[in-house]
Amino acid sequence: MIKLTRIDDRLVHGQVAFTWTPALGVDCLIVANDKVAKDEFMKMTLGLAKPAGTKLLIKSLKEAAAFLNDEKNKGLKILLIINSVKDAAVMATEVPEIRSINIGGIRLREGAKLISKAVGVNDEDITTIRDLLNKGVELEIRQVPTDNKQMVVNLI
């Protein structure tokens, strides 16, 4: 069962390990990212950041979708972490269980504008966000679980 789907370009870090994981009671972190799935150094680095006693799986988008759609994995309490709006849209299309996406952090980059203190989006992101909203997917911004939800529809 997916407890939370989170977009965070830092993937696994302190907020994920020490606030989200215990608050959600998750026992499995899944990083869905095609590039990281092929990068042994990044996999090792993310493994060092995971909380003790929590399983970390790093999979391509296709592999992650297959894993999440497999009935035998439904007993896991999963925090799904994706690093971009584009990849989140792929996962939401491939995994029907994803009906809500938390945006925790997307660093400002060329062509992007801040819609909250930790989320920068560009025009392509906004188009993808609108597509997700039109499909009935809730999009909200919170860095940590105790923050109030900011609904993305009100910020773009």
Q: Where along the chain do its domains lie?
A: 2-154
Query: Which residues, given as ranges, of the chain have pLDDT below 50?
Result: none
20-64 pLDDT per residue, tens: 999 999 999 999 999 999 999 999 999 988 888 999 999 999 999
Q: 3-state class of 113 per DSSP? A: strand
Structure-token pair, residue 147: 């923050």
**Tell me, what's the pLDDT at 52?**
87
Token pair for residue 7?
Answer: 């977009």
Per DSSP, 1 falls in state: -
Side-chain half-sphere exposure of 109, counting CA atoms within 13 A = 10
pLDDT score, position 108: 84
13 is catalytic: yes
> One of 10, 13, 43, 77 is an active-site residue; which one?
13
Q: What are phi and psi of 79, to 5 degrees?
A: -110, 110
- For residue 121, the model assigns a pLDDT of 94
CATH class of 2-154: alpha beta
Q: What's residue 137's pLDDT? A: 97
Position 74 scores a pLDDT of 92
